[in-house]
Amino acid sequence: MDKIFLRGLEVQAVVGIWDWERNVTQKVVIDLEMASNNRKAAATDRIEDTLDYKRVAKRVSAFVEQSEYQLVETLTERIAQIVVSEFDIPWVRVCVSKPGAIRGSNDVGVCIERTTEDFDD
């Protein structure tokens, strides 16, 4: 399986369960790995034949900036659903972290893997 990845996408968002977290934005960092068959794009050298990761980054950033979830788990799940559903990706791994959220720790976060079957209605 070929994969396209995007690491370290930083976005400001309202996320958290504490009252103070509901009133400020915090930095979240997003890592994506997306299944993609890259053979056609490699043969044609055309952006139209691959996953446009700039479009993915813009869509995910815009969504996260507007979101106001309490749990990082919920935010991570919604990002996975957007990537799989809107970009026709058969498999995605999404990691979302909140650097500095825990005193004495560099980072804390959630990683999930989802497929198209997870979002079939």
User: Which token pair is 15?
Assistant: 């996320």
What element of type H or E holds 60?
Answer: helix 53-66
3-class secondary structure, 89: coil
89, 39 contact by CB (below 8 A): no
Residue whose tokens read 């650097």: 99
Query: For this structure, is 27 an active site residue?
Result: no
Among candidate residues 3, 27, 58, 98, the one labeled active-site is 98
112, 80 contact by CB (below 8 A): yes
Q: Which residues are catalytic?
A: 98
